Amino acid sequence: MSQHLVLSLCKNITLVEEVNTQTATLFSPNYKITFHSIKPGMKKVLYSLIKEGADIKQLHDFLEIDEGILAELKLNVYLQKFSQLGWLYYSVFAENNLIAIAVPLCKNTQFANTQIFTESRYLLSRFAYLHLVDEKIVLESPLSKMQIRLFSWQGIAIINQLATPCTYLDLVSQIPNLSINTAKHFLDLLINTQMISEVSIASNIVEQEDLSLEQWEFHDLLFHTCSRMGRHSKRVGGTYRFLDKIDPLPAIKPKMSDNIIKLFKPDLENLKNTDDSFTKVLEERRSIRKYGENPITVQQLGEFLYRSARVKEIIQTQRGEIMSCPYPSAGSLYELELYPVINQCEDISSGMYHYCPLNHQLSLISENMKTLDALVKTASQSLGEQDIPQVIIIMTARFQRVSWKYESIAYSLVLEHVGVLYQTMYLVATAMKLAPCGIGRGNSDLFSKIAGCNYYSETSVGEFALGSRQ
Ligand SMILES: Cc1cc2nc3c(=O)[nH]c(=O)nc-3n(C[C@H](O)[C@H](O)[C@H](O)COP(=O)(O)O)c2cc1C
Protein backbone atom coordinates (compact mmCIF):
# COMPACT_ATOMS: atom_id res chain seq x y z
CA MET A 1 0.00 0.00 0.00
CA SER A 2 1.12 3.52 -0.76
CA GLN A 3 2.81 5.44 2.06
CA HIS A 4 1.89 8.85 0.63
CA LEU A 5 -0.57 10.54 -1.67
CA VAL A 6 -0.56 8.93 -5.09
CA LEU A 7 0.38 11.26 -7.96
CA SER A 8 -0.89 10.78 -11.50
CA LEU A 9 -1.44 12.82 -14.62
CA CYS A 10 -4.91 13.79 -15.79
CA LYS A 11 -6.62 11.37 -18.12
CA ASN A 12 -6.48 13.44 -21.29
CA ILE A 13 -2.65 13.32 -21.37
CA THR A 14 -0.91 10.77 -23.58
CA LEU A 15 2.72 9.66 -23.74
CA VAL A 16 4.32 9.02 -27.13
CA GLU A 17 7.78 7.43 -27.32
CA GLU A 18 10.13 7.79 -30.32
CA VAL A 19 12.65 4.93 -29.99
CA ASN A 20 14.88 6.19 -32.82
CA THR A 21 15.40 9.65 -31.34
CA GLN A 22 15.21 8.46 -27.70
CA THR A 23 12.51 11.02 -26.95
CA ALA A 24 9.23 10.77 -25.13
CA THR A 25 6.51 13.42 -25.40
CA LEU A 26 3.56 14.14 -23.11
CA PHE A 27 0.61 15.58 -25.03
CA SER A 28 -2.36 17.39 -23.56
CA PRO A 29 -5.04 18.82 -25.90
CA ASN A 30 -3.24 22.18 -25.94
CA TYR A 31 0.35 21.64 -24.72
CA LYS A 32 3.24 19.20 -25.03
CA ILE A 33 6.47 18.48 -23.17
CA THR A 34 9.26 16.53 -24.89
CA PHE A 35 11.91 14.61 -22.90
CA HIS A 36 15.12 14.23 -24.94
CA SER A 37 17.59 11.34 -24.38
CA ILE A 38 15.18 9.96 -21.81
CA LYS A 39 16.66 7.47 -19.31
CA PRO A 40 14.91 4.25 -18.19
CA GLY A 41 14.13 5.60 -14.69
CA MET A 42 12.43 8.74 -16.00
CA LYS A 43 10.55 6.66 -18.55
CA LYS A 44 9.22 4.52 -15.71
CA VAL A 45 8.18 7.68 -13.84
CA LEU A 46 6.23 8.98 -16.83
CA TYR A 47 4.52 5.65 -17.54
CA SER A 48 3.47 5.24 -13.93
CA LEU A 49 2.13 8.82 -13.81
CA ILE A 50 0.13 8.15 -16.98
CA LYS A 51 -1.19 4.78 -15.82
CA GLU A 52 -1.90 3.81 -12.20
CA GLY A 53 0.07 6.62 -10.51
CA ALA A 54 2.75 6.36 -7.81
CA ASP A 55 3.61 8.06 -4.56
CA ILE A 56 6.56 10.42 -4.34
CA LYS A 57 8.81 7.78 -2.75
CA GLN A 58 8.10 5.28 -5.53
CA LEU A 59 8.84 7.94 -8.15
CA HIS A 60 12.18 8.68 -6.53
CA ASP A 61 12.93 4.95 -6.30
CA PHE A 62 12.34 4.58 -10.06
CA LEU A 63 14.96 7.24 -10.66
CA GLU A 64 17.68 5.43 -8.74
CA ILE A 65 18.64 3.57 -11.92
CA ASP A 66 19.30 6.94 -13.61
CA GLU A 67 21.94 9.39 -12.50
CA GLY A 68 20.83 9.83 -8.88
CA ILE A 69 20.52 13.28 -7.40
CA LEU A 70 20.39 15.16 -10.71
CA ALA A 71 17.48 13.03 -11.90
CA GLU A 72 15.72 13.69 -8.59
CA LEU A 73 16.13 17.43 -8.99
CA LYS A 74 14.79 17.10 -12.52
CA LEU A 75 11.77 15.15 -11.20
CA ASN A 76 10.91 17.96 -8.77
CA VAL A 77 11.12 20.50 -11.58
CA TYR A 78 8.87 18.37 -13.79
CA LEU A 79 6.33 17.81 -11.01
CA GLN A 80 6.21 21.56 -10.47
CA LYS A 81 5.70 22.07 -14.20
CA PHE A 82 2.88 19.49 -14.29
CA SER A 83 1.27 21.22 -11.33
CA GLN A 84 1.56 24.61 -13.04
CA LEU A 85 -0.10 23.18 -16.14
CA GLY A 86 -2.93 21.77 -14.01
CA TRP A 87 -2.01 18.19 -14.99
CA LEU A 88 -1.28 16.62 -11.61
CA TYR A 89 -3.89 14.60 -9.66
CA TYR A 90 -3.39 13.53 -6.02
CA SER A 91 -5.22 10.44 -4.77
CA VAL A 92 -5.83 8.80 -1.39
CA PHE A 93 -6.27 5.04 -1.16
CA ALA A 94 -7.36 2.85 1.76
CA GLU A 95 -6.22 -0.77 1.33
CA ASN A 96 -6.13 -0.28 -2.46
CA ASN A 97 -9.61 1.28 -2.55
CA LEU A 98 -9.75 4.76 -3.99
CA ILE A 99 -11.12 7.21 -1.40
CA ALA A 100 -10.63 10.58 -3.07
CA ILE A 101 -8.82 12.40 -5.87
CA ALA A 102 -7.82 16.07 -5.86
CA VAL A 103 -8.26 17.35 -9.40
CA PRO A 104 -6.91 20.71 -10.62
CA LEU A 105 -9.62 23.05 -11.90
CA CYS A 106 -7.21 25.30 -13.78
CA LYS A 107 -3.55 26.08 -14.32
CA ASN A 108 -1.20 27.12 -11.48
CA THR A 109 -2.82 25.01 -8.79
CA GLN A 110 -1.38 25.48 -5.33
CA PHE A 111 -0.68 22.03 -3.85
CA ALA A 112 1.47 23.36 -1.06
CA ASN A 113 3.01 20.16 0.43
CA THR A 114 2.08 21.25 3.97
CA GLN A 115 2.73 18.49 6.52
CA ILE A 116 0.12 16.99 8.85
CA PHE A 117 1.33 16.77 12.47
CA THR A 118 0.20 14.28 15.12
CA GLU A 119 -0.46 16.93 17.78
CA SER A 120 -2.13 19.48 15.49
CA ARG A 121 -5.88 19.95 15.26
CA TYR A 122 -7.56 20.75 11.96
CA LEU A 123 -10.86 22.44 11.07
CA LEU A 124 -12.94 22.54 7.87
CA SER A 125 -13.04 25.90 6.07
CA ARG A 126 -16.44 27.62 6.17
CA PHE A 127 -15.98 28.17 2.43
CA ALA A 128 -15.77 24.41 1.63
CA TYR A 129 -18.94 22.79 0.30
CA LEU A 130 -20.09 19.43 -1.04
CA HIS A 131 -22.18 19.12 -4.18
CA LEU A 132 -23.05 16.73 -6.94
CA VAL A 133 -21.12 16.85 -10.24
CA ASP A 134 -21.51 14.13 -12.90
CA GLU A 135 -22.95 11.66 -10.37
CA LYS A 136 -20.01 12.20 -7.97
CA ILE A 137 -19.98 14.06 -4.66
CA VAL A 138 -17.26 16.71 -4.87
CA LEU A 139 -15.77 19.01 -2.27
CA GLU A 140 -15.01 22.49 -3.58
CA SER A 141 -14.16 25.88 -2.14
CA PRO A 142 -13.74 29.38 -3.58
CA LEU A 143 -10.37 29.39 -1.76
CA SER A 144 -9.13 26.45 -3.81
CA LYS A 145 -8.10 25.84 -7.39
CA MET A 146 -8.67 22.10 -6.88
CA GLN A 147 -11.74 19.95 -6.54
CA ILE A 148 -11.83 16.81 -4.40
CA ARG A 149 -13.85 13.98 -5.91
CA LEU A 150 -15.09 11.61 -3.22
CA PHE A 151 -15.41 7.91 -3.98
CA SER A 152 -16.23 6.37 -0.62
CA TRP A 153 -17.91 6.96 2.75
CA GLN A 154 -14.60 7.54 4.60
CA GLY A 155 -14.11 10.94 2.96
CA ILE A 156 -17.62 12.14 3.83
CA ALA A 157 -17.26 10.84 7.42
CA ILE A 158 -13.95 12.69 7.88
CA ILE A 159 -15.37 15.94 6.45
CA ASN A 160 -18.32 15.64 8.84
CA GLN A 161 -16.01 15.25 11.87
CA LEU A 162 -13.91 18.25 10.79
CA ALA A 163 -16.81 20.57 11.62
CA THR A 164 -15.05 20.77 15.00
CA PRO A 165 -11.24 20.76 15.47
CA CYS A 166 -9.72 17.25 15.24
CA THR A 167 -6.32 15.60 15.18
CA TYR A 168 -5.96 12.72 12.76
CA LEU A 169 -5.88 10.35 15.72
CA ASP A 170 -9.24 11.82 16.90
CA LEU A 171 -10.65 10.91 13.48
CA VAL A 172 -9.35 7.35 13.78
CA SER A 173 -11.01 6.95 17.20
CA GLN A 174 -14.28 8.57 16.07
CA ILE A 175 -14.79 6.79 12.73
CA PRO A 176 -15.06 2.96 12.76
CA ASN A 177 -12.59 1.06 10.55
CA LEU A 178 -10.64 4.20 9.55
CA SER A 179 -6.90 3.50 9.43
CA ILE A 180 -4.28 5.99 10.62
CA ASN A 181 -2.81 6.13 7.10
CA THR A 182 -6.14 6.93 5.45
CA ALA A 183 -6.95 9.65 8.01
CA LYS A 184 -3.51 11.20 7.61
CA HIS A 185 -3.44 11.05 3.82
CA PHE A 186 -6.95 12.46 3.54
CA LEU A 187 -6.02 15.38 5.83
CA ASP A 188 -2.92 15.82 3.68
CA LEU A 189 -5.18 16.18 0.64
CA LEU A 190 -7.53 18.59 2.43
CA ILE A 191 -4.85 20.89 3.86
CA ASN A 192 -2.96 21.18 0.59
CA THR A 193 -6.13 22.10 -1.29
CA GLN A 194 -7.15 24.79 1.25
CA MET A 195 -10.21 22.83 2.44
CA ILE A 196 -9.00 22.68 6.06
CA SER A 197 -6.53 24.67 8.18
CA GLU A 198 -4.48 23.95 11.26
CA VAL A 199 -6.12 25.36 14.40
CA SER A 200 -3.86 27.83 16.22
CA ILE A 201 -3.21 27.98 19.98
CA ALA A 202 -5.84 30.74 20.12
CA SER A 203 -8.27 28.16 18.62
CA ASN A 204 -8.56 30.05 15.33
CA ILE A 205 -7.74 29.12 11.76
CA VAL A 206 -6.04 31.36 9.21
CA GLU A 207 -9.27 32.42 7.52
CA GLN A 208 -10.67 33.63 10.87
CA GLU A 209 -7.60 35.78 11.48
CA ASP A 210 -7.50 37.26 8.00
CA LEU A 211 -9.54 40.49 8.10
CA SER A 212 -10.23 40.42 4.35
CA LEU A 213 -11.50 36.84 4.34
CA GLU A 214 -13.49 37.35 7.51
CA GLN A 215 -15.62 39.94 5.72
CA TRP A 216 -16.48 37.73 2.75
CA GLU A 217 -19.74 35.83 2.97
CA PHE A 218 -19.66 32.31 1.55
CA HIS A 219 -22.17 33.02 -1.26
CA ASP A 220 -20.46 36.26 -2.30
CA LEU A 221 -16.99 34.71 -2.60
CA LEU A 222 -18.32 31.65 -4.43
CA PHE A 223 -20.25 33.86 -6.89
CA HIS A 224 -17.14 36.01 -7.36
CA THR A 225 -14.73 33.14 -8.08
CA CYS A 226 -17.23 31.33 -10.33
CA SER A 227 -18.16 34.37 -12.40
CA ARG A 228 -14.58 35.62 -12.82
CA MET A 229 -11.73 33.80 -14.57
CA GLY A 230 -8.65 32.37 -12.83
CA ARG A 231 -9.92 29.78 -10.33
CA HIS A 232 -11.70 27.45 -12.73
CA SER A 233 -11.37 26.48 -16.36
CA LYS A 234 -15.04 26.54 -17.31
CA ARG A 235 -16.01 28.37 -20.44
CA VAL A 236 -16.63 32.05 -19.85
CA GLY A 237 -18.57 34.38 -22.12
CA GLY A 238 -20.90 34.07 -25.09
CA THR A 239 -20.74 30.32 -25.74
CA TYR A 240 -24.38 29.82 -26.86
CA ARG A 241 -24.53 26.49 -25.03
CA PHE A 242 -28.28 26.05 -25.71
CA LEU A 243 -28.12 26.81 -29.45
CA ASP A 244 -30.18 24.19 -31.36
CA LYS A 245 -31.37 22.72 -28.04
CA ILE A 246 -33.69 25.38 -26.60
CA ASP A 247 -35.26 28.31 -28.46
CA PRO A 248 -34.05 31.72 -27.29
CA LEU A 249 -36.67 33.87 -25.54
CA PRO A 250 -38.20 36.63 -27.67
CA ALA A 251 -36.90 40.11 -26.85
CA ILE A 252 -40.30 41.48 -25.81
CA LYS A 253 -42.27 39.91 -23.00
CA PRO A 254 -45.92 39.39 -24.05
CA LYS A 255 -48.30 41.88 -22.44
CA MET A 256 -49.38 40.83 -18.99
CA SER A 257 -53.01 42.04 -19.08
CA ASP A 258 -55.55 43.74 -21.34
CA ASN A 259 -55.90 46.63 -18.91
CA ILE A 260 -53.55 48.97 -20.79
CA ILE A 261 -52.50 52.57 -20.15
CA LYS A 262 -50.75 54.32 -23.06
CA LEU A 263 -47.97 56.55 -21.76
CA PHE A 264 -46.87 60.05 -22.73
CA LYS A 265 -43.93 60.29 -25.15
CA PRO A 266 -41.70 63.35 -24.74
CA ASP A 267 -40.33 65.30 -27.69
CA LEU A 268 -36.66 64.33 -27.58
CA GLU A 269 -35.59 66.94 -30.18
CA ASN A 270 -37.06 69.63 -27.98
CA LEU A 271 -35.43 68.17 -24.86
CA LYS A 272 -32.01 68.26 -26.58
CA ASN A 273 -32.33 72.05 -26.62
CA THR A 274 -34.08 72.65 -23.30
CA ASP A 275 -32.47 70.10 -20.91
CA ASP A 276 -29.83 71.14 -18.39
CA SER A 277 -26.29 70.48 -19.60
CA PHE A 278 -24.83 67.00 -19.09
CA THR A 279 -22.31 68.30 -16.56
CA LYS A 280 -25.04 70.08 -14.59
CA VAL A 281 -27.14 66.89 -14.47
CA LEU A 282 -24.15 64.75 -13.49
CA GLU A 283 -23.04 67.17 -10.78
CA GLU A 284 -26.53 67.69 -9.37
CA ARG A 285 -27.50 64.03 -9.25
CA ARG A 286 -28.36 63.02 -5.67
CA SER A 287 -30.36 60.28 -3.94
CA ILE A 288 -33.50 61.96 -2.67
CA ARG A 289 -35.72 60.19 -0.18
CA LYS A 290 -38.30 62.89 0.63
CA TYR A 291 -41.05 63.87 -1.78
CA GLY A 292 -43.10 66.91 -2.75
CA GLU A 293 -46.66 67.49 -1.60
CA ASN A 294 -48.00 67.01 -5.11
CA PRO A 295 -47.19 63.50 -6.29
CA ILE A 296 -45.40 62.65 -9.51
CA THR A 297 -47.79 62.67 -12.53
CA VAL A 298 -48.45 59.89 -14.99
CA GLN A 299 -47.06 62.21 -17.71
CA GLN A 300 -43.77 62.51 -15.80
CA LEU A 301 -43.70 58.73 -15.27
CA GLY A 302 -44.22 58.26 -19.01
CA GLU A 303 -41.42 60.68 -19.88
CA PHE A 304 -39.11 59.06 -17.30
CA LEU A 305 -39.67 55.52 -18.63
CA TYR A 306 -39.39 56.66 -22.26
CA ARG A 307 -36.08 58.41 -21.66
CA SER A 308 -34.60 55.61 -19.50
CA ALA A 309 -35.83 52.31 -20.84
CA ARG A 310 -37.87 52.33 -24.05
CA VAL A 311 -36.97 50.05 -26.96
CA LYS A 312 -35.53 52.06 -29.82
CA GLU A 313 -35.10 49.14 -32.21
CA ILE A 314 -35.48 45.37 -32.40
CA ILE A 315 -32.95 43.56 -34.57
CA GLN A 316 -33.55 40.00 -35.83
CA THR A 317 -30.38 37.88 -35.92
CA GLN A 318 -29.71 34.21 -36.65
CA ARG A 319 -29.22 33.79 -32.91
CA GLY A 320 -32.40 35.42 -31.75
CA GLU A 321 -33.70 38.94 -31.26
CA ILE A 322 -31.57 41.74 -29.90
CA MET A 323 -32.53 45.34 -29.16
CA SER A 324 -31.37 48.87 -28.69
CA CYS A 325 -32.43 50.92 -25.62
CA PRO A 326 -31.10 54.13 -23.99
CA TYR A 327 -28.89 52.15 -21.55
CA PRO A 328 -26.22 49.58 -22.55
CA SER A 329 -26.68 45.81 -22.24
CA ALA A 330 -24.26 42.89 -22.85
CA GLY A 331 -24.97 41.30 -26.23
CA SER A 332 -27.84 43.84 -26.67
CA LEU A 333 -30.01 41.22 -24.97
CA TYR A 334 -31.94 43.49 -22.56
CA GLU A 335 -33.30 40.91 -20.16
CA LEU A 336 -34.52 43.49 -17.63
CA GLU A 337 -38.24 44.21 -17.27
CA LEU A 338 -39.75 47.06 -15.28
CA TYR A 339 -42.73 46.83 -12.92
CA PRO A 340 -43.76 50.21 -11.49
CA VAL A 341 -45.53 49.79 -8.14
CA ILE A 342 -47.58 52.94 -7.91
CA ASN A 343 -48.33 54.12 -4.44
CA GLN A 344 -49.14 57.74 -5.24
CA CYS A 345 -49.18 59.11 -8.77
CA GLU A 346 -51.54 61.68 -10.29
CA ASP A 347 -54.01 60.39 -12.91
CA ILE A 348 -53.34 56.68 -12.45
CA SER A 349 -54.68 54.34 -9.80
CA SER A 350 -52.39 52.62 -7.32
CA GLY A 351 -51.20 49.12 -8.07
CA MET A 352 -48.51 47.08 -9.77
CA TYR A 353 -48.04 47.52 -13.50
CA HIS A 354 -45.78 46.01 -16.13
CA TYR A 355 -44.03 48.41 -18.52
CA CYS A 356 -43.93 47.38 -22.18
CA PRO A 357 -40.80 49.16 -23.49
CA LEU A 358 -41.77 48.60 -27.14
CA ASN A 359 -45.31 50.02 -27.10
CA HIS A 360 -44.47 52.37 -24.25
CA GLN A 361 -47.49 51.39 -22.21
CA LEU A 362 -48.35 49.97 -18.80
CA SER A 363 -50.47 46.90 -18.22
CA LEU A 364 -52.14 46.49 -14.87
CA ILE A 365 -51.15 43.43 -12.83
CA SER A 366 -52.67 44.06 -9.41
CA GLU A 367 -54.61 46.85 -7.75
CA ASN A 368 -54.64 45.07 -4.42
CA MET A 369 -52.57 47.47 -2.32
CA LYS A 370 -52.97 45.16 0.68
CA THR A 371 -50.73 42.55 -1.01
CA LEU A 372 -48.45 45.22 -2.46
CA ASP A 373 -48.04 46.86 0.95
CA ALA A 374 -45.26 44.46 1.98
CA LEU A 375 -43.21 45.48 -1.10
CA VAL A 376 -43.79 49.19 -0.40
CA LYS A 377 -42.94 48.70 3.30
CA THR A 378 -39.63 46.94 2.56
CA ALA A 379 -38.69 49.73 0.13
CA SER A 380 -39.67 52.40 2.62
CA GLN A 381 -37.64 50.74 5.40
CA SER A 382 -34.63 50.49 3.08
CA LEU A 383 -34.90 54.23 2.46
CA GLY A 384 -34.78 54.94 6.21
CA GLU A 385 -38.56 55.53 6.49
CA GLN A 386 -38.13 59.24 5.85
CA ASP A 387 -41.12 59.14 3.48
CA ILE A 388 -43.12 56.53 1.54
CA PRO A 389 -41.88 56.27 -2.08
CA GLN A 390 -44.52 57.45 -4.56
CA VAL A 391 -43.39 54.93 -7.17
CA ILE A 392 -41.13 51.90 -6.73
CA ILE A 393 -39.79 50.60 -10.01
CA ILE A 394 -39.08 46.90 -9.58
CA MET A 395 -36.52 45.58 -12.06
CA THR A 396 -36.77 41.90 -12.92
CA ALA A 397 -34.64 39.74 -15.18
CA ARG A 398 -35.90 37.21 -17.70
CA PHE A 399 -32.78 35.19 -16.87
CA GLN A 400 -32.81 32.87 -19.88
CA ARG A 401 -32.37 35.83 -22.27
CA VAL A 402 -28.83 36.03 -20.86
CA SER A 403 -28.04 32.45 -19.82
CA TRP A 404 -29.01 31.12 -23.27
CA LYS A 405 -25.95 32.93 -24.65
CA TYR A 406 -23.59 33.58 -21.74
CA GLU A 407 -21.85 30.96 -19.62
CA SER A 408 -20.34 31.50 -16.12
CA ILE A 409 -21.17 35.22 -16.14
CA ALA A 410 -24.93 35.31 -16.80
CA TYR A 411 -26.04 36.39 -13.33
CA SER A 412 -23.15 38.81 -12.84
CA LEU A 413 -24.16 40.46 -16.16
CA VAL A 414 -27.73 40.80 -14.89
CA LEU A 415 -26.52 42.66 -11.81
CA GLU A 416 -24.25 44.83 -13.93
CA HIS A 417 -27.29 45.70 -16.07
CA VAL A 418 -29.21 46.71 -12.95
CA GLY A 419 -26.29 49.05 -12.20
CA VAL A 420 -26.27 50.71 -15.62
CA LEU A 421 -30.06 51.09 -15.62
CA TYR A 422 -29.86 52.61 -12.13
CA GLN A 423 -27.44 55.27 -13.31
CA THR A 424 -29.49 56.00 -16.42
CA MET A 425 -32.60 56.41 -14.26
CA TYR A 426 -30.73 58.58 -11.74
CA LEU A 427 -29.60 60.92 -14.51
CA VAL A 428 -32.99 61.08 -16.26
CA ALA A 429 -34.73 61.76 -12.92
CA THR A 430 -32.22 64.52 -12.15
CA ALA A 431 -32.73 66.11 -15.56
CA MET A 432 -36.49 65.97 -14.95
CA LYS A 433 -36.18 67.46 -11.41
CA LEU A 434 -37.64 64.31 -9.87
CA ALA A 435 -36.52 62.52 -6.67
CA PRO A 436 -34.60 59.28 -7.45
CA CYS A 437 -33.05 56.72 -5.08
CA GLY A 438 -31.63 53.23 -5.53
CA ILE A 439 -32.85 50.55 -3.13
CA GLY A 440 -30.38 47.82 -2.11
CA ARG A 441 -32.78 45.05 -1.11
CA GLY A 442 -36.10 43.61 -2.14
CA ASN A 443 -38.22 40.48 -1.72
CA SER A 444 -37.96 38.45 -4.94
CA ASP A 445 -40.10 35.61 -3.69
CA LEU A 446 -42.97 37.94 -2.84
CA PHE A 447 -42.60 39.73 -6.16
CA SER A 448 -42.91 36.52 -8.20
CA LYS A 449 -45.99 35.48 -6.21
CA ILE A 450 -47.74 38.82 -6.81
CA ALA A 451 -46.76 39.05 -10.48
CA GLY A 452 -47.40 35.34 -11.10
CA CYS A 453 -43.87 34.75 -12.44
CA ASN A 454 -41.91 31.52 -12.16
CA TYR A 455 -39.08 32.49 -9.76
CA TYR A 456 -36.48 30.69 -11.91
CA SER A 457 -37.67 32.28 -15.16
CA GLU A 458 -38.14 35.83 -13.98
CA THR A 459 -37.94 37.58 -10.66
CA SER A 460 -36.84 40.86 -9.16
CA VAL A 461 -33.14 41.78 -9.15
CA GLY A 462 -33.31 45.48 -8.22
CA GLU A 463 -35.61 48.28 -7.01
CA PHE A 464 -35.60 52.03 -7.61
CA ALA A 465 -37.66 54.69 -5.81
CA LEU A 466 -39.07 57.68 -7.67
CA GLY A 467 -41.24 60.62 -6.71
CA SER A 468 -41.82 64.35 -7.06
CA ARG A 469 -39.32 66.75 -5.50
CA GLN A 470 -40.07 69.00 -2.53
C1 LIG B 1 -26.93 49.82 -5.71
C2 LIG B 1 -27.42 50.93 -4.79
C3 LIG B 1 -28.23 50.59 -3.73
C4 LIG B 1 -28.71 51.58 -2.89
N5 LIG B 1 -29.55 51.23 -1.87
C6 LIG B 1 -30.07 52.18 -1.08
C7 LIG B 1 -31.00 51.84 -0.06
O8 LIG B 1 -31.38 50.68 0.10
N9 LIG B 1 -31.45 52.83 0.74
C10 LIG B 1 -31.08 54.13 0.58
O11 LIG B 1 -31.54 54.97 1.33
N12 LIG B 1 -30.20 54.49 -0.40
C13 LIG B 1 -29.70 53.54 -1.24
N14 LIG B 1 -28.84 53.88 -2.25
C15 LIG B 1 -28.43 55.28 -2.43
C16 LIG B 1 -27.08 55.51 -1.79
O17 LIG B 1 -27.22 55.55 -0.39
C18 LIG B 1 -26.50 56.82 -2.33
O19 LIG B 1 -26.26 56.67 -3.71
C20 LIG B 1 -25.19 57.22 -1.63
O21 LIG B 1 -25.43 57.52 -0.29
C22 LIG B 1 -24.53 58.39 -2.31
O23 LIG B 1 -25.38 59.51 -2.28
P24 LIG B 1 -25.88 60.22 -3.62
O25 LIG B 1 -26.59 59.20 -4.47
O26 LIG B 1 -26.83 61.29 -3.14
O27 LIG B 1 -24.68 60.76 -4.31
C28 LIG B 1 -28.36 52.93 -3.10
C29 LIG B 1 -27.53 53.27 -4.18
C30 LIG B 1 -27.08 52.28 -5.02
C31 LIG B 1 -26.21 52.65 -6.20
pLDDT tens per residue across span 171-201? 999 999 999 999 999 999 999 999 999 998 8
Nearest atom of ligand 1 to the alpha carbon of 441? 8
pLDDT tens sequence across 97-145? 999 999 999 999 878 889 999 999 999 999 999 999 999 999 999 999 9
pLDDT tens sequence across 430-453? 999 999 999 999 999 999 999 999
Q: Ligand 1 test: best mutation among 437, 441, 464, most atoms within 8 Å of CB?
A: 437
How many distinct helices (H) and strands (E) make up the chain? 16, 23
pLDDT tens sequence across 31-70? 999 999 888 999 999 999 999 999 999 998 898 887 667 7
Mean pLDDT of the chain: 95
The helix (H) or strand (E) run that includes residue 57 is helix 56-63
pLDDT at 3 over 70: no
pLDDT tens sequence across 145-168? 999 999 999 999 999 999 999 999
Q: Give the CA distances from residue 163 to residues 117, 125, 274, in Å, rounded to whole numbers and listed in that order.
A: 19, 9, 65
Residue 398 CA to ligand 1 centre (angstroms): 25
The structural domains of the chain, with segments of one domain joined by +, span 6-85, 97-227, 237-468
> Which residue CA neighbors atom 25 of ligand 1 most closely?
287
Residue 299 phi/psi, 5-degree rounding, is: -65, -45
pLDDT at 13 over 70: yes
Q: Name residues contacting ligand 1 (CB within 6 A).
A: 286-287, 289, 382-384, 422, 437-440
The answer to whether 353 and 340 are in contact (CB under 8 A) is yes
Q: Which has the closest alpha carbon to 109: 123, 90, 127?
A: 90
Residue 289 CA to ligand 1 centre (angstroms): 10
Residue 392 CA to ligand 1 centre (angstroms): 14
Q: Yes or no: is domain 237-468 CATH 3.20.20.100?
A: no
Q: What is the share, in percent, of the chain residues with pLDDT greater than 90?
A: 89
pLDDT tens sequence across 294-316? 999 999 999 999 999 999 999 99
Give the whole-angstrom CA distance, residue 368 versus residue 298.
19
Q: What's the pLDDT score for residue 19? A: 86
The answer to whether 396 and 339 are in contact (CB under 8 A) is yes
Nearest atom of ligand 1 to the alpha carbon of 419? 1
The answer to whether 110 and 121 are in contact (CB under 8 A) is no
Give the whole-angstrom CA distance, residue 13 versus residue 28.
5
pLDDT category at 22 given cuts 50, 70, 90 is confident
pLDDT at 2 over 60: no
Residue 299 CA to ligand 1 centre (angstroms): 26
Residue 154 CA to ligand 1 centre (angstroms): 50
CATH architecture of 97-227: Alpha-Beta Complex (3.90)
Residue 355 CA to ligand 1 centre (angstroms): 24
Residue 91 CA to ligand 1 centre (angstroms): 50
**Two domains, one topology: 97-227 and 237-468:** no
Determine the straight-line distance between the first and last CA of the chain, rounded to whole angstroms. Answer: 80
Give the whole-angstrom CA distance, residue 78 versus residue 59.
12
> Which residue CA neighbors atom 10 of ligand 1 most closely?
383
Q: pTM of the entire structure? A: 0.93
pLDDT category at 225 given cuts 50, 70, 90 is very high
Q: Ligand 1 test: best mutation among 284, 285, 287, most atoms within 8 Å of CB?
A: 287
> Which residue CA neighbors atom 27 of ligand 1 most closely?
286
